[in-house]
Structure 1
């Protein structure tokens, strides 16, 4: 039973660490996505200004490629963000299961403590019973 508790603690520690790492990773990627979106908005604004100024086609081609690259990058980040969100959901569910295991462990520890007390009392009663039988025989 003790090894199961140790294993439960180990699983809990590993899962909690993984959950924290995934949460930090998702936060980092979310910040990157916000920054990329900001850059994308800036690129769109620059593109509008260049068109208004009737920039030459070569510059427009460069800007257009950069814009395309930014859009591709944003889409990639959005896809990764969805994947990480699903992973985070999974780890949150694991964390809930870990909390249930903690509660069960606490209940089992209480039960074990009560059983130890009962064993001790049983030993006392057996000694008392043996003494009473011995007195009865005499």
Structure 2
């Protein structure tokens, strides 16, 4: 059963302006530890792809917070919900701390889709409840990380 749906779209230039205005602290505030590693690597290779990564993760967190019905209220916060990629490249939601427990207690599972263009980023999240889907993903290493 669908418990909630969320979507978010943002203009890249607004995010880039905020990132520059905060001297990069915006990324530290928004991204979880695993996302931050990917962001730094992408930013070092290609600045525009790094900014697209940050934008899609920002949009995914906004969409997710809407889908679970909490907005940015506890246990939801920027860094405890991460959007990572499984080995095939599919984006997956990884929650930690109290948010992970909230998701388990509610039997919630989240599916996320993200996309970006030169000037826009978008995310769409569907949260379902019921018997959890077991994916075999237990930590970031299962998602192709190191």
TM normalised by structure 2 equals 0.20
Q: Answer 1 or 2: which has greater helix percent.
A: 1
Structure label with greater radius of gyration: 1
TM normalised by structure 1 equals 0.21
